[in-house]
Amino acid sequence: MPEPTTSASAAAPAPTENSLMALLRRAGLLDWFLLGLIGVVVLAYFIPEAGSKSSPIPWFIITKGGVALIFFFYGLRLSLDKLKAGLRNWRLHVVVQVITFLVFPLLALAVRPLFEGAKGPQLWQSIFFLCTLPSTVSTSVVMVSIARGNLPAAIFNASISSLLGIVLTPLWTSFFLHTAADGGHLWGMALSLTWQVILPVVAGVLLNRRFGAIAEQHKSTLRLSDQVVILLIVFTAFCESFTEGIFRSYGARDIVLLGLGMVALYLLIFGAVWGLSRLLGFSREDRITALFCGSKKSLVHGSVMASLLFPAAAGTGLILLPLMLYHALQIILASMMAQRMGRLPLVGRAGLQ
């Protein structure tokens, strides 16, 4: 009899450790991609020449080809039948897209006068670029699932947001930022968007009925390939920025303040969506979907769009900095909120009514 007791007691700490590791992983603190983002930025700092234009490795061709593949496989998994079925809940979709593509940019424009001095305007441009981006796909759907929201509506909104972002993000940035869309470069940017984004998406959608099921079966592998491409884009962007000395005037204090600003932006949008969805009388499930789809910004689309809209800019690393901070923070904050909502009982969810 003593032996089983000893064995059980020896094994007792394991569930606690596993639970802690699972919680950290669900909160995004052990996500390899976040660690990879930090790693490639550190690597770019120490060996910037490895990913700059002077490198013998054809990074430009590799990243451009990777971008096209990302959008092709995205289109391959996009079912037109599911999109048509999702049109019924139009009020929810309007709220999510208005928050994503109108409220976010208007907030950035409202705080523009606060960004003065030598560093202010460039930092504001990075934040404005972040605010014009579409919502995430996988993260939004996962959070809605954890919180027990309207999952089909989440899939629809995330997909529609990604498609709208192909047009609306370049449109917003062409009005207020110095991008490749300015002046005579407009045609070149439109052609680049067509070849690298629009045509691959269309080709993927047309092949969905034939190969969509295969793409769904291998979605984990495809997501991994997407993340690898994003890491390469971030690496080359920061290599070029470090080579040109873009970050020399930015210290730790600036990064901390920027991070706090991203937290404030997320919480402000989260509160605005919550209040609006309650005002419109959304069900609890629809409210959760609006919250997690309307408050996200996509690092995938941001990295891709930055490489298209700012192809010759050494400051692309700075353009991506607020987005990277927001990406990390939205995963951590949204995970904690989604888990809390998902733990509430099915009946009597007073805090969500």
DSSP 268-295: HHHHHHHHHHHHTT--HHHHHHHHHHHS
> Does the model's pTM come out above 0.75?
no
CA distances from 330 to 29, 72, 78, 334 (A): 12, 26, 25, 6
Residue 8: inside a domain: no
Higher pLDDT, 20 or 195: 195
pLDDT, tens only, 265-304? 999 999 999 999 999 999 988 999 999 999 999 887 887 7
CA distance 304 to 353: 39
- pLDDT for 281: 92
Residue 24: inside a domain: no
Q: Is 138 left (phi over 0), alpha (psi -120 to 50) or beta?
A: alpha
Whether residue 13 is predicted with pLDDT greater than 60 in this model: the reply is no
Q: Give long-range contacts, CB 8 A cutoff, 24+ apart: 264-270.
A: 265/107, 265/326, 266/295, 266/326, 266/329, 266/330, 266/333, 267/333, 268/107, 269/99, 269/103, 269/104, 269/107, 269/294, 269/295, 270/295, 270/337
Q: What is the mean pLDDT of residues 224-241?
A: 79
Whether residue 349 is predicted with pLDDT greater than 80 in this model: the reply is no
State whether the Cα torsion 334-325-293-290 is positive or negative.
Answer: positive
Whether residue 196 is predicted with pLDDT greater than 50 in this model: the reply is yes
Higher pLDDT, 190 or 299: 299
Residue 7: inside a domain: no
Higher pLDDT, 334 or 10: 334
Cβ atoms 297, 324 nearer than 8 A: no
Q: What is the mean pLDDT of residues 295-319?
A: 76
- pLDDT for 192: 66
CA distance 55 to 268: 42
CB within 8 A of 321, min separation 6: which ones? 126, 255, 258
Residue 10: inside a domain: no
- pLDDT for 350: 39
Looking from the CA of 233 toward its CB, the CA atoms found within 13 Å total 30
Residue 17: inside a domain: no
CA distance 160 to 136: 11
Count helices and strands in the chain by DSSP H and E runs: 18, 0
- pLDDT for 30: 53
Name the domain count of the chain.
Answer: 1
Cβ atoms 144, 293 nearer than 8 A: yes
Residue 21: inside a domain: no
Q: For the beta carbon of residue 195, count every other beta carbon within 10 angstroms.
A: 13
**Predicted confidence band of residue 82 (pLDDT cuts 50, 70, 90):** low
Lowest mean pLDDT segment, chosen from 43-57, 93-107, 227-241, 279-293: 227-241
pLDDT, tens only, 140-177? 777 787 788 887 788 788 778 888 888 899 889 888 87
Residue 4: inside a domain: no
What is the phi/psi pair of residue 56, to 5°? -70, -15
- pLDDT for 2: 47
User: Which amino acid does the sequence have at 259?
Assistant: G
Whether residue 87 is predicted with pLDDT greater than 80 in this model: the reply is no
CA distance 260 to 72: 36
∠ CA 169-102-83, rounded to 5°: 70
- pLDDT for 3: 45
Highest mean predicted confidence (pLDDT) among 42-56, 215-229, 308-322: 42-56
Domain span including residue 238:
33-342
Q: What is the mean pLDDT of residues 307-326?
A: 74
Residue 92: inside a domain: yes
Q: What is the mean pLDDT of residues 68-87?
A: 75
Cβ atoms 292, 147 nearer than 8 A: yes
CA distance 340 to 344: 7
Q: What is the mean pLDDT of residues 203-232?
A: 82
- pLDDT for 303: 79
Whether residue 70 is predicted with pLDDT greater than 50 in this model: the reply is yes
Helix (H) or strand (E) holding 78: none
**Predicted confidence band of residue 53 (pLDDT cuts 50, 70, 90):** confident
The CATH number given to whatever domain includes residue 112 is 1.20.1530.20
- pLDDT for 8: 41
- pLDDT for 276: 93
Lowest mean pLDDT segment, chosen from 3-12, 73-82, 124-133, 292-301: 3-12
pLDDT, tens only, 130-147? 999 998 876 777 778 778
Whether residue 10 is predicted with pLDDT greater than 60 in this model: the reply is no
Q: For the beta carbon of residue 277, count every other beta carbon within 10 angstroms.
A: 24
